[in-house]
Amino acid sequence: MKQPLHGSLWSRPDVRLVLPARALSYAGDAVALVALTLRVSADSGPSSFAMTGLLLAFALPTVLMVPFAGRIVDSLDSRTVLVSASLLQAAAGAGLALADGLAATLALVCVLQVGQAVAGPAWAALIPRIVGEELIGRATGASQALTGVATIAGAGMGGLLVAWQGDTGALLVNAATFLGLAVVAWLVRTRRRPDPGGPAYAGGALAGVRSLLGDQLLRVLVPGLWLFILAAEALNVVEVYLLTGDLGLGPVGYGLIGAGQGVGAVAGAWCTGRLGADRARALAVVAGTALIGAAALLMGLTQILVLVALGAVGMGFAAGVLNTGTSTLVVTRTPEALRGRVIAALAGSTRACSLVALLLGGAAGALLGPRGTFLASGAACVLLAVVMVVPVLSALRREPGAARNDSVSKVVSH
Domain for residue 134, yes or no? Answer: yes
Instruction: Give the residue among 103, 100, 224 at the shortest CA–CA distance from 167.
Output: 100
Domain for residue 198, yes or no? Answer: no
Shared domain check, 219 and 147: no
Shared domain check, 240 and 378: yes
| CATH number of the domain that residue 76 is part of | 1.20.1250.20
Which amino acid makes up residue 402?
A
Shared domain check, 220 and 180: no
C-alpha distances (whole Å) from 67 to each of 70, 88, 338, 341 are: 7, 19, 13, 8
Instruction: Give Dmax (Cα) for the chain.
Output: 63
For residue 121, give its domain range: 1-193
What is the per-residue pLDDT for 150? 86
Shared domain check, 184 and 95: yes
Q: How confident is the model at residue 411 (pLDDT cuts 50, 70, 90)?
A: very low
Shared domain check, 229 and 110: no
Say what percent of the chain tops pLDDT 90. Answer: 39
Shared domain check, 135 and 70: yes
Find the range with the poorest average confidence among 239-248, 288-297, 380-389: 239-248
Mean pLDDT comparison of 2-16, 29-43, 167-181, highest-scoring range: 167-181
- State yes or no: pLDDT of 195 exceeds 70: no
**3-class DSSP assignment, residue 240:** helix
Domain for residue 414, yes or no? Answer: no
Domain count for the chain: 2
Shared domain check, 288 and 220: yes
- State yes or no: pLDDT of 290 exceeds 90: yes
Q: How confident is the model at residue 7 (pLDDT cuts 50, 70, 90)?
A: low
What is the per-residue pLDDT for 197? 54
Shared domain check, 66 and 129: yes
Domain for residue 199, yes or no? Answer: no
Query: If you count them, how many residues does the chain have?
Result: 414
Q: What is the mean pLDDT of residues 364-372?
A: 90
What is the per-residue pLDDT for 176? 92
3-state secondary structure 191-222: CCCCCCCCHHHCCCCCHHHHHHHHCCCHHHHH
pTM score of the predicted model? 0.81
**Alpha-carbon span 304 to 296, nearest angstrom:** 14
**Alpha-carbon span 364 to 386, nearest angstrom:** 23
Higher per-residue pLDDT: 206 or 245: 245
**Alpha-carbon span 18 to 21, nearest angstrom:** 5
Give the tens place of pLDDT for each residue, 85-105: 999 999 999 999 998 888 899
**Alpha-carbon span 352 to 355, nearest angstrom:** 5
Give the tens place of pLDDT for each residue, 321-336: 999 999 999 988 988 8
What is the per-residue pLDDT for 203? 55
Domain for residue 413, yes or no? Answer: no
- State yes or no: pLDDT of 235 exceeds 70: yes
Contact 328, 281 (CB under 8 A): yes
Coarse DSSP helix, strand, coil percentages of the chain, rounded to the nearest 5 percent: 85, 0, 15
Domain for residue 411, yes or no? Answer: no
Judging by beta carbons within 10 Å of its beta carbon (0-12, 13-18, 19+), is residue 46 exposed, middle or buried? exposed
**Alpha-carbon span 137 to 143, nearest angstrom:** 10
Shared domain check, 133 and 16: yes
Q: How confident is the model at residue 2 (pLDDT cuts 50, 70, 90)?
A: very low
Mean pLDDT score of the chain = 85
What is the per-residue pLDDT for 366? 86
Give the tens place of pLDDT for each residue, 138-151: 888 888 888 888 88
Give the tens place of pLDDT for each residue, 15-70: 999 999 888 888 888 888 888 887 887 766 555 577 778 888 888 998 899 888 88
Instruction: Give the residue among 230, 361, 222, 235 at the shortest CA–CA distance from 295.
Output: 235
Of the candidates 135, 161, 193, which is a domain's last residue?
A: 193
**Alpha-carbon span 126 to 143, nearest angstrom:** 13
**Alpha-carbon span 361 to 368, nearest angstrom:** 10
Higher per-residue pLDDT: 352 or 154: 352
Domain for residue 410, yes or no? Answer: no
Give the tens place of pLDDT for each residue, 253-279: 777 888 888 889 999 999 998 888 899
Shared domain check, 285 and 336: yes
Shared domain check, 142 and 20: yes
Instruction: Give the residue among 213, 212, 217 at the shortest CA–CA distance from 341.
Output: 212
Contact 15, 130 (CB under 8 A): yes
Shared domain check, 242 and 165: no
Question: What count of Cα atoms within 13 Å lies in the side-chain half-sphere of residue 155?
Answer: 10
**Alpha-carbon span 93 to 140, nearest angstrom:** 27
- State yes or no: pLDDT of 404 exceeds 50: no
- State yes or no: pLDDT of 219 exceeds 60: yes
Domain for residue 408, yes or no? Answer: no
C-alpha distances (whole Å) from 99 to each of 49, 86, 87, 103, 117 are: 19, 19, 18, 9, 22
What is the per-residue pLDDT for 70? 87
- Measured N-to-C along each axis, helices 102-131 and 136-187 cross at an angle, to the nearest 10 degrees, of 120
Of the candidates 142, 170, 193, which is a domain's last residue?
A: 193
What is the per-residue pLDDT for 159? 79
Instruction: Give the residue among 46, 39, 40, 57 at the shortest CA–CA distance from 109.
Output: 57
**Alpha-carbon span 343 to 347, nearest angstrom:** 6
Of the candidates 147, 168, 193, which is a domain's last residue?
A: 193
**Alpha-carbon span 208 to 128, nearest angstrom:** 17
